[in-house]
Amino acid sequence: MKALGIRSRLTVPYAGLFLLVVVILGSAFFRVLSSDLDRELNRRLDHLCTGLWGYIAFDGDKPVLTFNREDHSVLEFLRTASRYYQLYDGQSGRVVAQSEDSALMHLAVSPADALRLLRHPGFDETRRFAPLRFRSIVFHASGRAYVLRVGVSLADDETAMRQIRDVLLLLLPVAVLASVMVTWVISGKALKPVRELRLAAHDISISNLNRRLPSRGSGDEIDLLAATFNDVFLQLEESVNRMKEFTAGISHELRTPLACLQGEAELALADARMPDCYRQVLTSQLEEFHKLNRLIDALLLLARAEAGEIGLALQRLDLSTLIAGLVEQIRFIADTRHVHLELRCDSPVPAIADPQWLERAALNLIDNAVKFTPAGGTVTLETAVHDGWATLRTSDTGIGISERDLPKIFDRFYRADGSRSKAVEGIGLGLTITKWIVEAHHGTIAVESMAGRGSCFTVQLPTTRETAPALPPAQAFL
Ligand code: ADP
């Protein structure tokens, strides 16, 4: 079943509510009016009944109406009051006098009922020939009790109430229809920007993620929605761009060793060679395999970090001891390249870190420093506590990094353009991984460098558990 749109969902309840309110107000108005008319009629009947009694006199036992025939207002009053009246004897309950209309329409009650009225005078109604309401009062004259019963027609009041009811019933559907139409139009207008937003969003696809939703500048909810979507599109665009760069980077990094492997294999097969030649080719291929392995390892690590699958086993350690141990591992390579390694890690530097991951980060930095420093240069490693942070500084007198490359060196697959840098082996993922490791420790990494003069990388790590991360961060560097 198709779900109702917002417009219908706004209109239907609103129309229902409006209908309910109109029905409640209409029936309340009708009831108030009807009881007002009722009260007014009873007051009028009281007035007619007591008034008429004032004009009744007795000629012996015979009641007669005595009044000034010149007085038109009295005449008018008596015409109304005496139209439907009966006078009953209080002892026998028999009618002693009644109006012509009353006699014609047989409005007089039985003697038993008249005696009941004597005991309980009040109001009663009949609808036999016409709708009439009566008022009975008891009075005494010449020592005898009488019941005077005066009636008025209910026809006018009932007709008026019927007309009011008809008008209300007619107005009800018109009002509801009008409210439905007004709500439909207003909600349509209110939702128009949402429709425009939907159409604009529909036009944005993976191929044109640089497009943005229009903002009307009103600062309302729709504009906020558009701004939120635009933020999401921006993030998507950046992610897609990163993915594109990533794919291009992987393809590039895979193509070179694969092309080497293929070329060497083709060459070896081209003509019969001596076993020594095959050994040479296989040794060279093994190097390429190692390179591919390193690349795949780094890619897997990035993928796991991206998925938040890497946890840190944090512990309190001495940064100076850890770096001193690493230097011993790398000293051989540095000596081979004739790079002097200087260690300034004299005093213990406490840090909260995962030793394995921290070693990997530090090794990347030291390896880079040695790689990018020409023979005769110096790499200095220094540990200290600065402003409450455990600090590791690796500085070298190497080729340095240009101002243009500096902001990008932590990006995946980025390798600075300098011919020396390109000539040095690497895949451009070392610093990305290092940055992730440092930030996963809630630490910071900064670089200062000048092309041709050397570089200095500074890593800062928490020294206490309060500043160390409680949980491994999921996507610290992506
Ligand atoms: P790789 O070392 O595999 O090329 P990295 O991510 O470790 O990748 O480094 C990225 C780039 O940053 C390097 O290719 C190099 O251009 C530059 N770089 C890093 N460390 C240094 C350094 N100590 N001196 C000069 N350039 C450096």
Instruction: Give dist(CA 398, CA 381) in Å, integer.
Output: 14
List pLDDT tens digits, range 88-117.
999 999 999 999 999 999 999 999 999 999
Instruction: Give dist(CA 415, CA 405) in Å, integer.
Output: 8
- Give the residue carrying structure tokens 């932590």: 410
CB of 433 sitting under 6 A from ligand 1: no
pTM for this prediction: 0.56
Atom 16, ligand 1: residue with shortest CA distance: 416
Question: Please, what is the angle between helix 319-336 and helix 355-371, to 10°?
Answer: 30
List pLDDT tens digits, range 295-320.
888 888 888 887 778 888 999 999 99
- List, in sequence order, every beta strand (DSSP E) within 244-367: 315-318, 340-344, 350-353
Q: How confident is the model at residue 472 (pLDDT cuts 50, 70, 90)?
A: very low
Q: Is 334 helix (H, G, I), strand (E, B) or coil?
A: helix
Check pLDDT > 60 for residue 475.
Answer: no
Ligand 1 atom with least separation from CA of 369:
23
DSSP-derived letter for residue 220 is S
Q: Is 397 helix (H, G, I), strand (E, B) or coil?
A: coil
| Cβ-Cβ contacts under 8 Å for 406 (sequence gap 6 or more) | 447, 449
Distance of CA 368 to the CA centre of its chain: 49
Contact 439, 271 (CB under 8 A): no
- C-alpha Rg value of the chain to the nearest Å: 53
H-helix or E-strand containing 137?
strand 132-141
CB of 431 sitting under 6 A from ligand 1: yes
Instruction: Give dist(CA 274, CA 253) in Å, integer.
Output: 32
List pLDDT tens digits, range 249-280.
778 778 877 888 888 888 878 766 677 778 88
List pLDDT tens digits, range 37-48.
999 999 999 999
Whole-number Å distance, alpha carbon 122 to ligand 1 midpoint, is: 111
Atom 19, ligand 1: residue with shortest CA distance: 368
Whole-number Å distance, alpha carbon 348 to ligand 1 midpoint, is: 29
The phi, psi pair for 140, rounded to 5°, reads -120, 140
The two most distant CA atoms of the chain are separated, in Å, by 165
Contact 407, 440 (CB under 8 A): no
